[in-house]
Amino acid sequence: MALECNSCKKSPPEVALLKRCAKCSTTPYCSRDCQKADWKVHKKVCGKQADATTSFQDGPTTGNSSPPKGLEQGVIRPFTRLENRTWLHDRSERDVYGLLIDAYRLRVEDMYNIEGEADADSIYGGAANGLRGFKRFLERVERCPGILPPWWDAKKKECETLGMTPSQWHDLRSAVEKSDIIEQYGDSRFPMQLRMFAESVYG
Protein backbone atom coordinates (compact mmCIF):
# COMPACT_ATOMS: atom_id res chain seq x y z
CA MET A 1 0.00 0.00 0.00
CA ALA A 2 1.38 3.42 -0.98
CA LEU A 3 2.13 5.98 1.70
CA GLU A 4 -0.42 8.82 1.74
CA CYS A 5 -0.94 12.13 3.53
CA ASN A 6 -2.73 11.49 6.83
CA SER A 7 -4.97 14.53 6.23
CA CYS A 8 -5.87 14.85 2.53
CA LYS A 9 -5.04 11.20 1.64
CA LYS A 10 -3.01 12.23 -1.44
CA SER A 11 0.09 10.26 -2.32
CA PRO A 12 2.96 10.63 -4.79
CA PRO A 13 2.96 11.48 -7.66
CA GLU A 14 -0.13 13.59 -6.88
CA VAL A 15 1.95 15.36 -4.24
CA ALA A 16 5.66 15.87 -4.74
CA LEU A 17 6.87 14.75 -1.33
CA LEU A 18 5.53 13.39 1.94
CA LYS A 19 7.24 14.39 5.20
CA ARG A 20 6.72 12.72 8.53
CA CYS A 21 5.55 14.49 11.68
CA ALA A 22 8.66 15.91 13.39
CA LYS A 23 7.48 14.72 16.79
CA CYS A 24 6.48 11.10 16.27
CA SER A 25 8.41 10.49 13.02
CA THR A 26 5.67 8.13 11.82
CA THR A 27 2.67 10.05 10.47
CA PRO A 28 3.10 11.38 6.88
CA TYR A 29 1.86 14.74 5.58
CA CYS A 30 2.12 16.44 2.19
CA SER A 31 2.23 19.98 3.61
CA ARG A 32 2.35 22.02 6.79
CA ASP A 33 -1.27 23.04 6.15
CA CYS A 34 -2.39 19.39 6.15
CA GLN A 35 -0.42 18.76 9.34
CA LYS A 36 -2.05 21.76 11.04
CA ALA A 37 -5.50 20.66 9.85
CA ASP A 38 -4.98 17.17 11.30
CA TRP A 39 -3.31 18.23 14.58
CA LYS A 40 -6.40 18.08 16.83
CA VAL A 41 -6.90 14.43 15.87
CA HIS A 42 -3.22 13.48 15.54
CA LYS A 43 -2.06 14.93 18.86
CA LYS A 44 -4.06 12.27 20.73
CA VAL A 45 -1.76 9.53 19.39
CA CYS A 46 1.35 11.54 18.49
CA GLY A 47 2.94 11.50 21.97
CA LYS A 48 2.45 7.77 22.34
CA GLN A 49 3.97 7.17 18.90
CA ALA A 50 6.91 9.48 19.73
CA ASP A 51 7.63 7.64 22.99
CA ALA A 52 7.38 4.28 21.22
CA THR A 53 9.69 5.48 18.43
CA THR A 54 12.18 6.92 20.94
CA SER A 55 12.15 3.74 23.03
CA PHE A 56 12.74 1.64 19.91
CA GLN A 57 15.54 3.89 18.66
CA ASP A 58 17.22 4.10 22.07
CA GLY A 59 16.90 0.37 22.65
CA PRO A 60 15.05 -1.21 25.52
CA THR A 61 17.76 -0.86 28.16
CA THR A 62 19.45 2.49 27.56
CA GLY A 63 17.02 4.58 29.60
CA ASN A 64 18.11 7.78 27.87
CA SER A 65 16.42 10.86 29.19
CA SER A 66 15.39 13.96 27.29
CA PRO A 67 17.03 16.34 26.84
CA PRO A 68 20.55 14.95 27.20
CA LYS A 69 22.01 18.36 28.11
CA GLY A 70 20.99 21.89 29.10
CA LEU A 71 19.15 20.83 32.27
CA GLU A 72 20.27 19.39 35.59
CA GLN A 73 18.41 16.21 34.64
CA GLY A 74 16.21 15.09 31.76
CA VAL A 75 13.17 12.84 32.00
CA ILE A 76 12.22 9.46 30.56
CA ARG A 77 9.16 9.30 28.24
CA PRO A 78 8.70 13.08 27.95
CA PHE A 79 5.77 12.87 25.52
CA THR A 80 3.83 10.61 27.86
CA ARG A 81 4.56 13.08 30.67
CA LEU A 82 3.26 15.91 28.47
CA GLU A 83 0.07 13.97 27.81
CA ASN A 84 -0.33 13.23 31.55
CA ARG A 85 0.39 16.88 32.43
CA THR A 86 3.40 15.89 34.56
CA TRP A 87 6.16 17.17 32.26
CA LEU A 88 7.33 19.72 34.85
CA HIS A 89 7.02 17.35 37.82
CA ASP A 90 10.06 15.64 39.40
CA ARG A 91 12.43 18.31 38.13
CA SER A 92 14.62 20.79 40.02
CA GLU A 93 13.32 24.31 40.62
CA ARG A 94 15.88 25.79 38.24
CA ASP A 95 14.96 23.32 35.48
CA VAL A 96 11.25 24.13 35.89
CA TYR A 97 11.96 27.87 35.73
CA GLY A 98 14.11 27.45 32.62
CA LEU A 99 11.57 25.24 30.86
CA LEU A 100 8.75 27.69 31.56
CA ILE A 101 10.85 30.56 30.20
CA ASP A 102 11.93 28.62 27.10
CA ALA A 103 8.39 27.38 26.39
CA TYR A 104 7.25 31.00 26.48
CA ARG A 105 10.15 32.26 24.33
CA LEU A 106 9.62 29.60 21.65
CA ARG A 107 5.86 30.24 21.66
CA VAL A 108 6.45 33.97 21.07
CA GLU A 109 8.94 33.16 18.29
CA ASP A 110 6.46 30.78 16.63
CA MET A 111 3.59 33.28 16.86
CA TYR A 112 5.77 35.93 15.22
CA ASN A 113 7.16 33.71 12.45
CA ILE A 114 4.12 31.55 11.70
CA GLU A 115 1.14 33.75 12.54
CA GLY A 116 2.81 37.15 12.01
CA GLU A 117 1.61 38.25 15.45
CA ALA A 118 3.56 40.00 18.19
CA ASP A 119 2.31 41.44 21.48
CA ALA A 120 3.27 45.09 21.89
CA ASP A 121 5.02 44.26 25.17
CA SER A 122 7.15 41.47 23.67
CA ILE A 123 10.63 41.82 22.22
CA TYR A 124 9.05 41.19 18.80
CA GLY A 125 6.73 44.13 19.42
CA GLY A 126 9.61 46.45 20.33
CA ALA A 127 9.78 46.00 24.12
CA ALA A 128 13.20 45.76 25.77
CA ASN A 129 12.28 42.40 27.31
CA GLY A 130 9.45 39.89 27.45
CA LEU A 131 8.77 40.01 31.20
CA ARG A 132 5.20 41.35 30.97
CA GLY A 133 4.19 38.72 28.42
CA PHE A 134 5.93 36.03 30.45
CA LYS A 135 3.98 37.06 33.55
CA ARG A 136 0.75 36.61 31.56
CA PHE A 137 1.98 33.21 30.41
CA LEU A 138 2.69 32.18 34.03
CA GLU A 139 -0.81 33.28 35.05
CA ARG A 140 -2.24 30.99 32.36
CA VAL A 141 0.01 28.14 33.46
CA GLU A 142 -1.15 28.56 37.06
CA ARG A 143 -4.78 28.23 35.92
CA CYS A 144 -4.07 24.77 34.44
CA PRO A 145 -4.81 22.23 37.19
CA GLY A 146 -1.94 19.91 38.07
CA ILE A 147 0.45 21.12 35.37
CA LEU A 148 2.90 22.74 37.82
CA PRO A 149 4.83 20.73 40.40
CA PRO A 150 3.34 20.67 43.92
CA TRP A 151 6.08 22.94 45.34
CA TRP A 152 5.30 25.81 42.91
CA ASP A 153 3.01 27.98 45.10
CA ALA A 154 5.35 30.84 45.97
CA LYS A 155 8.05 30.37 43.34
CA LYS A 156 6.69 32.62 40.58
CA LYS A 157 8.90 35.59 41.52
CA GLU A 158 12.06 33.45 41.49
CA CYS A 159 11.17 32.23 38.00
CA GLU A 160 10.65 35.80 36.78
CA THR A 161 13.97 36.84 38.35
CA LEU A 162 15.81 34.09 36.48
CA GLY A 163 14.28 35.30 33.21
CA MET A 164 15.57 38.82 33.84
CA THR A 165 19.09 37.76 34.89
CA PRO A 166 21.53 38.75 32.13
CA SER A 167 24.31 36.53 30.78
CA GLN A 168 22.48 33.23 31.09
CA TRP A 169 20.53 31.08 28.61
CA HIS A 170 16.95 31.65 29.87
CA ASP A 171 17.03 35.41 29.17
CA LEU A 172 13.69 37.11 28.48
CA ARG A 173 15.59 39.89 26.66
CA SER A 174 16.72 37.45 23.96
CA ALA A 175 14.82 35.87 21.11
CA VAL A 176 15.15 32.13 20.63
CA GLU A 177 14.74 29.96 17.54
CA LYS A 178 14.16 26.25 17.13
CA SER A 179 17.80 25.74 16.13
CA ASP A 180 18.95 27.50 19.32
CA ILE A 181 16.81 25.17 21.44
CA ILE A 182 18.20 22.09 19.67
CA GLU A 183 21.77 23.29 20.17
CA GLN A 184 21.24 24.20 23.84
CA TYR A 185 19.51 20.96 24.81
CA GLY A 186 21.10 18.53 22.34
CA ASP A 187 17.75 17.00 21.38
CA SER A 188 16.09 17.57 18.00
CA ARG A 189 12.68 16.74 19.50
CA PHE A 190 12.95 19.12 22.44
CA PRO A 191 11.40 22.11 20.62
CA MET A 192 8.31 19.94 20.11
CA GLN A 193 8.15 19.25 23.85
CA LEU A 194 8.26 22.98 24.60
CA ARG A 195 5.60 23.65 21.95
CA MET A 196 3.33 20.92 23.26
CA PHE A 197 3.67 22.26 26.79
CA ALA A 198 2.77 25.79 25.63
CA GLU A 199 -0.15 24.38 23.65
CA SER A 200 -1.44 22.64 26.77
CA VAL A 201 -1.44 26.07 28.43
CA TYR A 202 -3.01 28.04 25.58
CA GLY A 203 -5.29 25.26 24.36
Report domain extents, the chain: 1-64, 78-202
pLDDT of amino acid 114: 87
Contacts of 39 (CB under 8 A, 6+ apart): none
Task: Quote the pTM value.
Answer: 0.70
Distances in Å between the Cα of 12 and the Cα atoms of 1, 3, 42, 157 are: 12, 8, 21, 53
pLDDT of amino acid 62: 38
Does the pLDDT value for residue 60 go beyond 80?
no
> Is 13 strand, coil or helix?
coil
Mean pLDDT of the chain: 87
